[in-house]
Amino acid sequence: MRIAPTRRLLATVCTAASTAALLAGCAVQHAGPPPSSTAGSGLDVAYFARIDAAIDGAVAARKLPGAVFHLEHEGAVYERAYGRLSYDEGAAPDSSATVFDAASLTKVLATAPSVLMLAEQGRIGLDDRLGTYFPECAGNGKDGITIRQLLTHSSGLPAGLPATPPWHGRAAAHALACAQTVTHAPGTLFRYSDINYILLGQVVEKVTGVPLESYAQAHIFAPLRMRDTGYLPLRRVDADPEAIAPTQLGRADGGAHRDLAPGELLRGVVHDPTARRMDGVAGSAGVFTTMGDVVRFARMLLAGGMLDGVRILEPDSVRLMTTVQSPPGLAPRGLGMDIDSPYAARPRGTVFPVGSYGHTGFTGCVLWIDPQSRAFYVFLSNRVYPDDSSNVLDLYTRMGTLSAEAARRGWTPAGR
């Protein structure tokens, strides 16, 4: 992963049909009043000011120090940065090069695609039981859990691993996950659970014999040219910590971050406490990324698993990841992406139809894609700075709604 130097984001509206078109037709200005769009561009520029006002308002209200936003439809792009990396005087402004802790976007950027790749190769069976790979996880109602149920959060496992008594390391995390007792029979309840994806990441490692961070780097991030994406950003020789958005600031009462000393700042170290106990790598969290890289991932999905002539996933794997695969009667989710669970309403907004899909990250990140219109938006922020008490869910709803309205040219939303 290459961490680029921090630089001021420019507000951009351009047609991205080709490199030549980008060079010739891209209007680039410093952040401020958004530039005008060209007629028939696929985006209604009248909505840009409203998007800016929503995000600028959240920054002004100190709900987040800064963010980067990207909206794309039919080759037309609106991208802009807002605010600064922190509230400190003299803090650098956010930019398209800012590296963010993606939190649970890890699940769909790294873990689910890795599992689906291995399923394509016949090395993982989606309906295999967890015990096929980890016999030590048997018992306590877990014998019937399948890979598919882990991917759709229908395993019946608890939401997360306990923090006490203190533990550390991937082996300890695995032992704890295997010791959990299901609260409901597998396949009968939707509960969003980090344990599901921690176990999936460990299945990838068991099958391949390669650490999850290495497998995702070699098979997803590198071939997709997601050059600024990966786990453990500070271990890169070319890492620039000043390009990374800070997250948690340690405080005297500790809270969920008792491992941090008062005043200690997380910058380039994963915010999620469980992933941090696992030395920064988990199937549930740990990936750091930039706007441009998440955009490439979204384009790959819309193109059926291929981008720039490089195939990452087979079309059927994209279908499984992005269409309803949950057991009947449970919250609709794909094998990775959220579609219509209780967590989907905020980022989807009120215009994108059910059938659009995406995911959020606790640190303040959203990826949402509508395959009907072929529009998508990405929002990256560090709303957890200096602590994780800020709530930006209303902002998600406004961005989702305004994004869909801006992209309505040439398409009519399906019935909700």
Q: Could you give the CA distance from residue 315 to residue 212 in angstroms, rounded to a whole number? A: 23
Tell me, yes or no, whether 290 lies in a domain.
Answer: no
Backbone φ and ψ of 284, nearest 5° = -95, -25
Residue 177 structural domain: 108-209
* 342 burial level (CB within 10 Å; 0-12, 13-18, 19+): exposed
Q: How many alpha carbons fall within 13 Å on the CB side of residue 21?
A: 11
* Six-digit token string for 66: 């800064």
CB-based contact 285:103 (threshold 8 Å): yes
CB-based contact 129:146 (threshold 8 Å): yes
Give every CB contact of residue 47 below 8 A, 6+ residues apart in sequence.
Answer: 402, 405, 406
Q: Which amino acid is at 197?
A: Y
What crossing angle do the helices spanning 194-208 and 170-179 adopt, rounded to 10°? 120
* Six-digit token string for 269: 């170290």
Tell me, yes or no, whether 21 lies in a domain.
Answer: no
Backbone φ and ψ of 14, nearest 5° = -150, 165
- Which CATH number fits the domain that encloses residue 117? 1.20.58.710
Tell me, yes or no, whether 192 lies in a domain.
Answer: yes
The CA-based diameter of the chain, rounded to the nearest angstrom, is 62
Best CA proximity match to 233, nearest among 219, 248, 224, 245: 245
Tell me, yes or no, whether 14 lies in a domain.
Answer: no
CB-based contact 246:14 (threshold 8 Å): no
- The total of other beta-carbon atoms located within 10 Å of residue 139's CB is 11
Tell me, yes or no, whether 120 lies in a domain.
Answer: yes
CA quadruple 168, 172, 178, 183: dihedral, nearest 10: -20
Query: What pLDDT is recorded for position 237?
Result: 62
* Six-digit token string for 162: 């306990």
CB-based contact 314:121 (threshold 8 Å): no
- The total of other beta-carbon atoms located within 10 Å of residue 238's CB is 8
Query: What pLDDT is recorded for position 126?
Result: 98
Give every CB contact of residue 402 below 8 A, 6+ residues apart in sequence.
Answer: 47, 50, 51, 54, 349
Q: Could you give the CA distance from residue 232 to residue 225 in angstroms, rounded to a whole number? A: 18
Kindly provide the b/e burial profile for residues 216-229, where b requires at least 16 CB atoms within 10 angstroms of the residue's own CB.
bbebbbeebebbbb
Q: Could you give the CA distance from residue 81 to residue 79 in angstroms, rounded to a whole number? A: 7
Tell me, yes or no, whether 195 lies in a domain.
Answer: yes
Q: How many structural domains does the chain have? A: 1
* Six-digit token string for 44: 């209604």
Three-state SS at 248: coil
Helix/strand/coil (H, E, C) string of 27-49?
EEEECCCCCCCCCCCCCCHHHHH
Give every CB contact of residue 123 below 8 A, 6+ residues apart in sequence.
Answer: 207, 208
Give every CB contact of residue 39 below 8 A, 6+ residues apart in sequence.
Answer: none
Q: Which amino acid is at 303?
A: A
Q: What's the pTM value of the predicted model, to 2 decimals?
A: 0.91
* Six-digit token string for 312: 């990452």
- The total of other beta-carbon atoms located within 10 Å of residue 358's CB is 26
Query: What pLDDT is recorded for position 21?
Result: 35
Best CA proximity match to 153, nearest among 368, 330, 366: 330
Query: What pLDDT is recorded for position 409?
Result: 63
Tell me, yes or no, whether 16 lies in a domain.
Answer: no
Query: What pLDDT is recorded for position 411?
Result: 61
Each residue's pLDDT tens digit in the chain (416 positions)?
Answer: 443 333 333 344 444 333 333 333 333 333 433 433 333 478 999 999 999 999 999 999 999 999 999 999 999 999 999 999 999 999 999 999 999 999 999 999 999 999 999 999 999 999 999 999 999 999 999 999 999 999 999 999 999 999 999 999 999 999 999 999 999 999 999 999 999 999 999 999 999 999 999 999 999 999 999 999 999 999 986 778 999 999 999 988 878 899 999 999 999 999 999 999 999 999 999 999 999 999 999 999 999 999 999 999 999 999 999 999 999 999 999 999 999 999 999 999 999 999 999 999 999 999 999 999 999 999 999 999 999 999 999 999 999 999 999 998 656 665 54
Tell me, yes or no, whether 198 lies in a domain.
Answer: yes
